[in-house]
Structure 1
Amino acid sequence: MAVGTQRNIGRRAGLVPLAFAIVAASLTGCVAGTSSATPGSATATPEPSATPTVVVGEPITGTGPIDGAPLAAPAGTQSVTIAFECAGDIRFSVELTNDMTGGMLVGDCGSTNEMTWPLPSGSGSGLFVYLPDDIDWVATPTFSSAPFVYDDALTEDCAAFADAESALMNADQGYTLYDAFEEDEWTSRVDGAVADLTALAETASPSIAEAIATVAAEASAPDRTVGMALTDEAHTAADTVSAECNRNQTPIILSGEFGG
């Protein structure tokens, strides 16, 4: 039975979240009447018919992780950008969950990171922050009546990469964990996925092309170990692809062939 798994690159620290409330600024002015395009659609994301209304909310400060703080979208909101700053030389994760989407984005402390999500008004969103307990941070929301803009080309690349990574994962798991086939079948599966990845790397969006090529190179290395197409280096490169796909709100969903 196939099992869908969303790649998660932000919760590895095992942090215990804390909750707090967020007070959002009210959004006023005219509102564009278009909605965001569906990810993966053949048509380009529509442009707003009028200049979008943008309102910057009050900065939200905290120390350590936060679990699902409410973020109420003012009337007319279509998207929100969080400007996130934190001290130190560490990696953080920020997640926004609502009725429409749930995307975890990552960044590095020491500079301002701007991250955007779709956020239709009334969607009942919650903000999650993951980083060490002693790290101070500030998040400033900017609400906009403009819809979130999906990169349609990147959407297609992410879907294609998910298929190829799933194939490598299933080859490794089928051989090492489930004894489902012999080495020749593992080799055939991996080589097929490598061919797909190699072709994808040649045409993929520049932000992920190099990482895709790295996954392909690791899986086709002359000294590769049977049952370990996805090496540590391949996982690191796959995380790079996943981070870009998450920013596009088209996360990598892996399909498991075994163990469901």
Structure 2
Amino acid sequence: MTLSRTTTHTTTVLGALIAAAFALSGCATTTGAAPSPSSSASDEATATSTAGATVTGTGATGLDFPVPAGARSVSIDFTCEGVGHYVVEFGDAMAENTSPISGPCGAPAALAWPVDAKTQPSIAVTVDDGIPWTATPLFSTKEFVRDAAVTADCAAFVDVYSALMNADQGYAQYKAFDAATWTARVAAASSQLAALAAASRSSLKGPLTSMSHTVSTATEPGTAQAGIADDVAQIGAACNANQTPYFLKAEFGG
């Protein structure tokens, strides 16, 4: 069995994306005074926040991103100009079991990550060539809190989506079984997906429900994943923002 990491698409190898972010040429500068502690507006009266130096760049760039001692979380105000999309990775996502976060350029975004002793003090930004971007961090001693309902739905989604992927790949690509087996596999996954959508109490309920409806109408062998890309993208974005990335379980091709 092969594990594949996924973000907002069917399967995404984050290592390649991260390597590209560092390899592509670009220029970057760091501005701002040395970080200074200030009172945090968090619910925890004892928590403090530390404003980091603003980092700016053009194009895809990877560079150092100092982390103050005692930090447990970071919120990065990120902007990139023009059209297109960005991918921002804080630290080493593969080693730290966190996730890069992606989105469209043109509007400010607040991107958050946990911080611990394993966190690498670095940032990698992937945008189109010539696109300027700015990242301003605010570190806090307050621990990053994952939404428990989102965490549970992301964990349960792994088996459902893996089953659909394996049904299509096993039938169409690897010729491992016939149409009747594909139908049985998809029916089982569809029932599991419907139950997950009905029980969901998180922000994933909408895309899970939409995806469940689409999958339930799939009758042509090899098309279990047809028409679900937008729903999968929404689910992936929510899991990534919650820093609970999921791994698809590939049955074939390992």
TM superposition score normalised by structure 2: 0.84
Match of 1:254 in 2: 248
Task: Report SS of the residue matched to 2:24.
Answer: coil
User: In the alignment, does 2:151 pair up with 1:152?
Assistant: no
Structure 1 residue 28: deviation in Å?
Answer: 4.2
The amino acid of 1:136's aligned partner reads: P
Deviation per CA, 1:198-242: give whole Å up to 9, x if none: 1111222442212112222222215x42112001x2122111101
Question: Residue 17 of structure 1 aligns with which residue?
Answer: 24
Give the counterpart letter for 1:189 in structure 2.
R
Specify which of 187, 191, 198 is matched with residue 187 of structure 2.
191
Q: 1:50 to 1:92 in 2, by over 3 A?
A: same
Q: Percent identity?
A: 35
Maintained 8 Å contact 1:73/1:122:
no
Structure 1 range deviating more: 113-122 or 140-149: 113-122
1:54 corresponds to 2:49: yes
The Cα RMSD (Å) is 2.7
Q: 2:118 and 2:151 mapped to 1: Cα distance?
A: 26
Aligned pair count? 240
Give the one of 59, 65, 77 matched to 1:71.
65
Contact 1:198-1:216 within 8 A present in 2 as well: yes
Distance in 2 between residues matched to 1:122 and 1:200, nearest whole Å = 33
Alignment of 1:242 with 2:249, yes or no, is: no
Offset of residue 251 of structure 1: 0.7
- The 1-side partners of 2:140 and 2:232 are apart by 32
1:204 matched to 2:200? The reply is yes
* Distance in 2 separating the partners of 1:194 and 1:219: 6
Distance in 1 separating the partners of 2:81 and 2:38: 35
- Shift in Å at residue 70 of structure 1? 1.8
Q: Residue type matched to 2:53 in 1?
A: E
Partner AA of 1:235 in structure 2:
A
The answer as to 2:223 corresponding to 1:225 is: no
* Matched-pair contact (CA < 8 Å) for 2:98–2:244: no
Farther-moved stretch of structure 1 (77-86 vs 17-26): 17-26
**Displacement, 1:21?**
6.9
